[in-house]
Structure 1
């Protein structure tokens, strides 16, 4: 049974952003899936390009381990997203506004766009467009 864009997106966000579970995140991708963050400079802490489910799994596990001191988590009640279907049935776009609670200060809002290319209910290619300074 094929998953809907909403099911794919929500599972991807839950396994990555919410729970930081690299194994679950990687299972959202095809065996040869590609994850890209094209706006990041080479050598950034967050991976710029990962090819294959196993590379996604290991690189994201290492990244999540580095980020253990960052206890920020998204405020799901304040965060919003809109999914846009395209003329290609295996492509959808996520327009996201994620809100992180501030430390007694104002909330921090992060806007980004992700382009998903799907094959057999899994992510074959994901391009994640966000401001590079967010990952420093």
Structure 2
């Protein structure tokens, strides 16, 4: 799969709340980094199993993703690296209040698998996750 196809599959898995599918997109030795992580979230996960555990815990949060809207996709001189300007449209499932979270995401996608996912999310736009 091309990087764009991988990212579209990721989008669909997250909208569908298919966290096992989401995790399957990562390489065994993948790294997920959240440099601006909100309180209580790790800033770095190493390995598909750590990403799986984190993703399954995230599934319990009161957040439902409605869409991941790409504002702009930037190709780099390295064909494995893409940068997304993204808006996550979601709602808090307990209060049913919708919200948007903006972010910039950097991916290294090699042989159809995510090797690196660095998410610079605007943490101020994410409501309390409980």
Same fold (TM over 0.5): yes
Larger Rg: 1
Are 1:131 and 2:87 matched, yes or no? no
Q: Measure how far apart 1:99 and its partner are.
A: 2.9
Which runs of at least 4 in structure 1 moved beyond 4 Å after TM superposition?
A: 101-105
Instruction: Note the residue ranges of structure 2 that are not aligned, 5 or more in a row.
Output: none
Matches within 5 A, 1:1-136: 3-16=1-14, 18-40=15-37, 44-65=39-60, 67=61, 70=62, 72-75=64-67, 79-100=69-90, 108-133=99-124, 134=126, 136=128
Structure with the bigger percentage of helix: 1
Q: TM-score scaled to structure 1, two decimals? A: 0.77
Provide the alpha-carbon RMSD of the alignment.
2.5
- Conserved? CA contact 2:65–2:90, under 8 Å: yes
Q: Single out whichever of 18-27 and 94-103 deviates more from structure 2.
A: 94-103
Structure with the bigger percentage of strand: 2
Distance change (3 Å), C-alpha of 1:9 and 1:75: closer
Q: Measure how far apart 1:46 and its partner are.
A: 3.4
Equivalent residue pairs, number:
125
Distance change (3 Å), C-alpha of 1:57 and 1:71: closer
Q: Measure how far apart 1:125 and its partner are.
A: 0.4
Distance change (3 Å), C-alpha of 1:116 and 1:71: closer
- Conserved? CA contact 1:39–1:130, under 8 Å: yes
